[in-house]
């Protein structure tokens, strides 16, 4: 390293010699070193993100105004792609599926997460084990999770769902191959997978709730349900809003699950935005159009992310 | 709700308080038992799919065809694993995932920590702009940029037979470059590191400067050792993201030599579509390493996830 910092070393070895001049010089050199190292240490990560996130965003926006099929050079086509999206029923159907999955799945999984979190907030034996069991679906790769559920939903008599239904005398159901059942089956998996993280955030928020409130309520003779709705729920409002927004964001990024479970089918009944973009780009090779779809997705997510950042900003204490 | 009077319980008559305490404690015990019972049932339901995977991976295929199928397998059939390994190169897939995940963890720890430290502790002119940019990057989902990133990788100049203009060949497609480079730094990890560094004492930096320690030395030898749990958290989260990644490896790898385990089981599914005992053996191989890692390092994962909220 050829870092030229002579003043720093002289300033150190001659502390008592000539009082003010070297001292300020030393401090100034420290400031220069700080500035230089600040830039140097921040540079690799900053350049990396400029190249692999910044540039792609620009490319996506530019290509969204072109007709491009990977083989031929992109050709400027104005707003044609956006006009196409406007009338593309399948794209909006995919958006609708995201909305349905969110509208049905998120509230249910949030409610269950809250119930688990309140229960696990007590000093119970084995609560670490419960927490792990509930959190495992989140830590496991979605591809593996989807494979497991593919097997559970298997239409044969040996799929677990159908084994269980068989125990109560219901005939095997085609969970993933019937257009009326497929989306519901997908939602069930998202609920199961989503409970863990939500529970964790709720648990973290519950640690911040004042125990004395519950003690006071106990003295007033409040029962569990009263305490839950009068103390817990209101105190957890910020966490609830945060979970809601982040869940909405990750819902719009569902891909692996659909790719393995249904490939968007049957009859497009489970297609979601990311899967539609994947198809447009890598199966139909309409890359310009796919980029326009990506820009729409980006707009949806940026709006949601801004909302969440505002909330995080409000509760952050740095 | 008013809580002001809560701490002054001891002010009331002692015998009445004791009786009430007693009944409170008894009520608490019965409600704890109820909660415990509920949690046992609920968590077993939550874990059931994993149990089903594990059980199916050692079942005899003839048993899977039986109607009605016995829920508990009669005997263990570990050959399912060797058979699955014979049908698809799961060992290669696992090795590739291990390399990918380890590289992601190492690169993120090195580059994101450097940037996070600079943003938290060093004053330089561009710091606010860099911080703002990182936060903006966190909001940009990979799915919105995946097509351009793919095109950039494919048209990487002078790689894979490409010309200087990036045409003619395949660029980084089906190379380790494509798997590792685009994900080498995650802006979220930069953000997380900054949070860890912010809570370290700045006085230590000042003292080290007075002792003549170089700025780089302060970063690597004095402050970074203080955030060891943070390093582990970022390493584990990056490793998990690398091991569980699917779409990107799916797009940029074509050969078995470079295929990672999540893509491996996805393609094995087409191949062995009805051999559920083999598919579940493969899925177990893809899922278990992360589960084991989580069980060992639970605390750090939980810390990371709780402070992220976003995944």
Secondary structure class of A164 (helix, strand, coil):
helix
Residue A313 makes CB contacts below 8 A (sequence gap 6+) with: none
* pLDDT score at B73: 83
Confidence grade of residue A164 (pLDDT, cut at 50, 70, 90): confident
What ipTM did this prediction achieve?
0.88
Report how far Cα A245 is from the mean position of its chain's Cα atoms.
Answer: 9
Beta bridge partners of A75: A67
pLDDT digits (tens, 9 = 90+) for A44-90: 999 999 999 999 999 999 999 999 998 888 999 999 999 999 999 99
The answer, for B141 touching chain A at a CB cutoff of 8 Å, is yes
pLDDT digits (tens, 9 = 90+) for A86-116: 999 999 999 999 999 999 999 999 999 999 9
Residue A4, pLDDT above cutoff 80: no
Find, among B130, B97, B106, B41, the residue nearest to B265 by Cα.
B97
Cβ distance B39 to A120 less than 8 Å, yes or no, reads yes
Confidence grade of residue A312 (pLDDT, cut at 50, 70, 90): low
Residue A246, pLDDT above cutoff 90: no
* pLDDT score at B9: 45
* pLDDT score at B286: 94
Spatial separation of the C-alpha atoms in residues B138 and B144, rounded to whole Å: 12
Alpha helices (H) in A66-178, listed in sequence order: 80-87, 89-120, 127-139, 142-152, 160-167
The answer, for B41 touching chain A at a CB cutoff of 8 Å, is no
* pLDDT score at B2: 40
- A-facing residues of B in 146-185 (CB < 8 A) are 146-149, 151-152, 181-182, 184-185
Report how far Cα B302 is from the mean position of its chain's Cα atoms.
Answer: 10
The whole-number average pLDDT for the span A287-310 is: 88
What is the per-residue DSSP string for chain B?
Answer: ---TTGGGGGGS-HHHHHHHHHHHHHHHHHHHHHHHHHHHHHHHHHHHHHHHHHHHHTS-HHHHH-SSPPSS-SS--THHHHHHHHHS-HHHHHHHHHHHHHHHHHHIIIIIHHHHHHHHH---TTHHHHHHHHHHHHHS-HHHHHHHHHHHHHT-TTSTT--TTS-SS-TTTTSHHHHHGGGS--HHHHHHHHHHHHTS-HHHHHHHHHTT--HHHIIIIIIGGGGHHHHHHHHHHHHHHHHH--HHHHHH--STTT--HHHHHHHHHHHTTT-HHHHHHHHHHHHHHHHHHHHHHHHHHHHHHHHH---
Residue A157, pLDDT above cutoff 90: no
Q: Which residues from chain A sit within 8 angstroms of residue B111, using beta carbons?
A: 44-45, 48
What is the per-residue DSSP string for A193-258?
Answer: HHHHHHHHHHHHHHTTS-HHHHHHHHHTT--HHHHIIIIIHHHTHHHHHHHHHHHHHHHTT--HHH
The answer, for B276 touching chain A at a CB cutoff of 8 Å, is yes
Confidence grade of residue A7 (pLDDT, cut at 50, 70, 90): very low
Q: How far is A136 from chain B (nearest CA, A)?
A: 7
Spatial separation of the C-alpha atoms in residues A61 and A299, rounded to whole Å: 11
**In contact, A193 and A138? CB cutoff 8 Å:** yes
Test mutation, A53, A164, A263, A305, chain B, max B CBs within 10 A: A53
Residue A192, pLDDT above cutoff 90: yes
pLDDT digits (tens, 9 = 90+) for A201-236: 999 898 888 888 888 888 888 887 888 888 888 888
The list of chain B residues with pLDDT below 50 reads 1-11, 309-311
Cβ distance A318 to B198 less than 8 Å, yes or no, reads yes
Q: Which residues from chain A sit within 8 angstroms of residue B2, using beta carbons?
A: 216
Q: How far is A90 from chain B (nearest CA, A)?
A: 18
**In contact, A271 and A91? CB cutoff 8 Å:** no
Q: What percent of chain A is predicted at pLDDT more than 90?
A: 59
Chain B residue whose CA is closest to A118: B35
- A-facing residues of B in 72-91 (CB < 8 A) are none
**In contact, B136 and B145? CB cutoff 8 Å:** no
The answer, for B52 touching chain A at a CB cutoff of 8 Å, is yes
Q: Which residues from chain B sit within 8 angstroms of residue A73, using beta carbons?
A: none
Half-sphere exposure of A17 (CA within 13 A, CB side): 9
Cβ distance A151 to B280 less than 8 Å, yes or no, reads yes
Helix (H), strand (E) at residue A183: helix A179-206
Beta bridge partners of A67: A75
**In contact, A114 and A236? CB cutoff 8 Å:** yes
Residue A243 makes CB contacts below 8 A (sequence gap 6+) with: A110, A113, A198, A201, A202, B309
Mean pLDDT of chain A: 87
Cβ distance B212 to A281 less than 8 Å, yes or no, reads no
Spatial separation of the C-alpha atoms in residues B8 and A305, rounded to whole Å: 45
* pLDDT score at A313: 52
| Sign of the torsion angle spanned by Cα atoms A197, A200, A202, A205 | negative
pLDDT digits (tens, 9 = 90+) for B164-201: 888 888 899 999 999 999 999 999 999 999 999 999 99
Spatial separation of the C-alpha atoms in residues B255 and B250, rounded to whole Å: 10
Residue A15, pLDDT above cutoff 60: no
Confidence grade of residue A13 (pLDDT, cut at 50, 70, 90): very low
Residue A2, pLDDT above cutoff 80: no
CA-to-CA dists, residue B303 to A131, A158, B110, B229, B300, angstroms = 14, 39, 20, 9, 5
Residue A18, pLDDT above cutoff 80: no
* Residues listed for chain B: 311
Secondary structure class of A76 (helix, strand, coil):
strand
* pLDDT score at B28: 76
Q: What are phi and psi of A76, to 5 degrees?
A: -60, 130
Helices A237-251 and A287-315: crossing angle in degrees, nearest 10, is 170
* pLDDT score at A90: 95
Residue A21 makes CB contacts below 8 A (sequence gap 6+) with: none
Q: What DSSP state is assigned to residue A67?
A: E
């Amino acid at each position: 390293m050829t870092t030229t910092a002579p003043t720093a070393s002289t300033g150190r070895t001659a502390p008592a010699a000539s009082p003010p001049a070297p001292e300020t010089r030393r401090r100034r050199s420290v400031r220069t070193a700080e500035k230089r190292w600040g830039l140097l240490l921040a540079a690799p990560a900053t350049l990396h993100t400029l190249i692999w996130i910044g540039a792609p965003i620009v490319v996506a926006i530019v290509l969204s105004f072109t007709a491009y099929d990977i083989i031929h050079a992109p050709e400027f086509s104005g707003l044609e792609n956006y006009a196409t999206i406007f009338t593309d029923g399948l794209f909006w159907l995919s958006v609708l599926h995201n909305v349905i999955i969110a509208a049905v799945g998120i509230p249910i999984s949030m409610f269950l997460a809250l119930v688990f979190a309140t229960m696990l907030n007590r000093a119970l034996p084995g609560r670490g084990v419960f927490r792990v069991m509930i959190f495992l679906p989140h830590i496991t790769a979605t591809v593996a999770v989807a494979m497991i559920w593919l097997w559970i939903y298997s239409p044969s008599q040996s799929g677990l769902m159908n084994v269980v239904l068989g125990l109560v005398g219901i005939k095997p159901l085609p969970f993933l191959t019937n257009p009326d059942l497929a989306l519901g089956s997908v939602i069930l998996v998202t609920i199961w997978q989503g409970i863990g993280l939500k529970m964790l955030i709720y648990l973290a928020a519950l640690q911040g709730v004042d125990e004395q409130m519950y003690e006071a309520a106990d003295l007033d003779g409040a029962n569990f349900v009263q305490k839950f709705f009068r103390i817990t729920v209101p105190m957890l409002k910020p966490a609830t809003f945060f979970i809601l927004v982040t869940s909405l964001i990750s819902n719009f990024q569902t891909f692996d699950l659909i790719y393995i479970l249904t490939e968007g089918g049957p009859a497009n009944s489970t297609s979601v935005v990311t899967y539609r973009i994947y198809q447009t780009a890598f199966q139909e090779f309409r890359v310009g159009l796919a980029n326009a779809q990506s820009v729409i997705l980006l707009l949806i997510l940026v709006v949601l992310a801004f909302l969440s950042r505002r909330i995080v900003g409000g509760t952050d204490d740095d | 709700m008013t809580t002001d009077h809560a701490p002054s319980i001891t002010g009331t008559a002692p015998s009445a308080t004791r009786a009430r305490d007693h009944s409170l404690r008894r009520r608490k015990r019965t409600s704890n038992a109820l909660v415990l019972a509920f949690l046992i049932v609920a968590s077993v339901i939550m874990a059931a799919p994993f149990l089903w995977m594990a059980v199916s991976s050692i079942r005899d295929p003839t048993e899977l065809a039986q109607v009605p199928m016995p829920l508990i397998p009669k005997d263990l059939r570990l050959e399912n694993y060797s058979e699955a390994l014979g049908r698809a190169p799961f060992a290669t897939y696992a090795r590739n995932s291990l390399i990918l995940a380890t590289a992601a963890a190492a690169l993120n720890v090195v580059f994101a920590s450097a940037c996070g430290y600079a943003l938290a502790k060093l004053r330089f002119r561009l710091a606010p702009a860099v911080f703002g940019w990182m936060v903006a990057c966190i909001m940009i989902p990979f799915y919105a940029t995946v097509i351009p990133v793919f095109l950039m990788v494919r048209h990487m100049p002078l790689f894979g037979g490409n010309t200087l203009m990036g045409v003619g060949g395949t660029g980084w497609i089906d190379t380790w470059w494509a798997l590792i480079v685009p994900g080498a730094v995650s802006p979220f990890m930069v953000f997380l590191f900054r949070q860890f560094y912010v809570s370290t004492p700045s006085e230590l930096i000042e003292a080290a400067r007075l002792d003549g320690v170089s700025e780089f030395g302060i970063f690597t030898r004095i402050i970074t050792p203080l955030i060891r749990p943070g390093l582990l958290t970022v390493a584990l989260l990056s490793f998990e993201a690398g091991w569980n990644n699917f779409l990107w490896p799916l797009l940029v790898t074509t050969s078995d030599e470079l295929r990672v385990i999540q893509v491996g089981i996805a393609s094995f599914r087409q191949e062995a579509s009805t051999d559920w005992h083999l598919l579940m053996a493969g899925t177990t191989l893809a899922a278990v390493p992360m589960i084991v890692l989580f069980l060992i390092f639970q605390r750090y994962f939980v810390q990371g996830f709780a402070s992220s909220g976003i995944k």
